[in-house]
Amino acid sequence: MNEWNIQSRGHVCEACGKSFADKETFHTLLLDEKRELRRSDICEACWQKQYSEGARERKGFISYWHGVYEAPTPAPEAIQKDTAESLLRKLIDLNDPRYMPAGYILAVMLERKRLLKVKEQFVREGKRYFIYEQPKTGDIFTILDPDLQLTQLEQVQRDVANLLEHGLNPPTEDPAAPAAEIAAGESSANPSAEADAPPQKVEEPTVT
C-alpha cells in the first residue's frame, strides 16, 4: 500500500450506478484490501436495501461515515501560490519519503483550521495512519504518522514554511551574481590596483 493516498468522493453510487444529486445524503465505507484502501460511496436507497445490516462486519472494514453530496464547482483557472491544501496534494502525488514529515505537519495545520477532519486512525504493520476528509470535496487523505521527535519538529516546520513560500521548485541563485560580488570585493580589497594602471593621456583644451 502507498504510504500516502488521496481518494476522491464518488459521483455515482457504487451499487446501482446512479449519479448523486446535489445535497443528496450518501454513505461511505472504507475497506482495507491489503494492497490499498478502497472507499465505497453508496446512495441512501442502496444503503438501506443492501448495506445497512452488517456493514461493520464486512471483510477489511476500517471505517464508515455518511455525508451530503455537493456538486463540484468549476476549478479556478490558475493558482498563484500554493495553499497548505494544494501543497499537501502535490506532496501526496509525488509520494517521496523525504516530504512525508512536511505532509504530516500540513495535514495537522489543515485539521486545526478545520479544513480537514479526522475520520479514522488505524495501525498497520506497526505504523499509524490517519484518514482525513476534506468536507467540501469529500476527498479522503491517507496520511502516515512519521513519529516525529521533538528535536525534529523545528526543522520540519522550517521545511514547511519554505515549501509554502517557494513551492517544490525553489528559485535558483544567479551564478553570475556571486562572481560579480567576488570581483567587486577583490577590487575594493586591492586599492593599489588603480595606482598600478597605466596613466591616461590628458589632452589640453584648445583655446580659440
Q: Is 171 left (phi over 0), alpha (psi -120 to 50) or beta?
A: beta
Q: Identify the pLDDT of residue 59.
A: 86
In one letter, which amino acid is 32? D
5-7 β-sheet, strand order: 5-7, 140-144, 127-133, 117-124
Q: Identify the pLDDT of residue 192.
A: 47
Ranges of each domain in the chain: 5-72+80-166
In one letter, which amino acid is 150? L
Q: Identify the pLDDT of residue 52.
A: 84
Q: What are phi and psi of 138, to 5 degrees?
A: 80, 0
**Rounded distance between C-alpha atoms, residue 97 and residue 2, angstroms:** 11
Low-confidence stretches of the chain (pLDDT < 50) are 77-80, 173-208
**Rounded distance between C-alpha atoms, residue 137 and residue 39, angstroms:** 14
Q: Identify the pLDDT of residue 114.
A: 93
Q: Identify the pLDDT of residue 33.
A: 84
Q: Identify the pLDDT of residue 189.
A: 46
Q: Identify the pLDDT of residue 1.
A: 53
HEC profile of 28-42: EEEEECCCCEEEEEE
Q: Identify the pLDDT of residue 171.
A: 54
